[in-house]
Structure 1
Amino acid sequence: MYSLHKLLWEIRKDPELAKRFRADPSVVLNEYGLEGDAREAMLTLDFKKLHEIGANPYLIYFCALQLQVGRESYYEQIREGKN
């Protein structure tokens, strides 16, 4: 969980990292050693899944914004699940 939280925090704080993630998420996820459910959720930007596996909601939300996910899309996904 530490690696996931570190990634979420750093994407939030570092626009260049967010840009790199948008361009090639697998490379960034490899750098942070993310595997399993956390990796899959980040690859698909499944924020509801991130909540379910215990990631910090504050970090998820602000990471989503930095990854240019609209607030409406984020909240819809959290409320109803990813389509």
Structure 2
Amino acid sequence: MSKYLLNKFLFTVDRDPELVERYRSDPAGTVSWWEAEQANRILNCHDGECSTWLRFDETERAALSTHDYPKLFELGAHPFLTLTLFIGMFERDYEPLGFQTEYARRLAHITMPYPDITT
């Protein structure tokens, strides 16, 4: 498991409106594409620099592919990254603040101490 890779996915997708829409409409395809094409690129570096070893495990891939943000939080994804991305994807489907309320409701079963979000 790589909390770094989960957070990197959430961070990079959230900053690209086209990727946000792609992830909303085709989550499994977006996760597969991103893992193959983007996961090993080094953030804030030119295209020639990359690593070769970063991959999601099956649990991470499944949670990302189904928009399962409670599971992502349990896996250690940073809550600010999940909240901002999923607000961008789903708040249009709810009344004002409705998605934020739904997010809180779906995470209500998690009690302190919260999962470790350090990377």
TM-score band by shorter chain is 0.7 to 0.9
- Using the alignment, how far apart are the partners of 1:44 and 1:72 within structure 2? 20
TM-score, normalised relative to structure 1: 0.81
C-alpha deviation, 1:75, in angstroms: 1.0
- Using the alignment, how far apart are the partners of 2:13 and 2:100 within structure 1? 17
> Please, which runs of 5 or more residues in structure 1 have no aligned partner?
none
Q: Among 56, 75, 82, which residue is 1:53 paired with? A: 75
- The answer to whether the 8 Å contact 1:48/1:78 transfers is yes
> Please, which runs of 5 or more residues in structure 2 have no aligned partner?
36-55, 92-98, 111-119
Q: Among 13, 16, 23, which residue is 2:15 paired with? A: 13
- The answer to whether the 8 Å contact 1:21/1:28 transfers is yes
TM-score, normalised relative to structure 2: 0.60
- The answer to whether the 8 Å contact 1:3/1:32 transfers is no
Runs of 4+ more than 4 Å apart: none
* Aligned 1:1-80 pairs, distance under 5 A: 1=2, 2-33=4-35, 34-69=56-91, 70-80=99-109
Residue identity matched to 1:37: T
Q: How many residues align?
A: 81
Higher helix share: 1
SS at match of 1:45: coil
**Aligned-CA RMSD value:** 1.8
Name the larger-Rg structure. Answer: 2
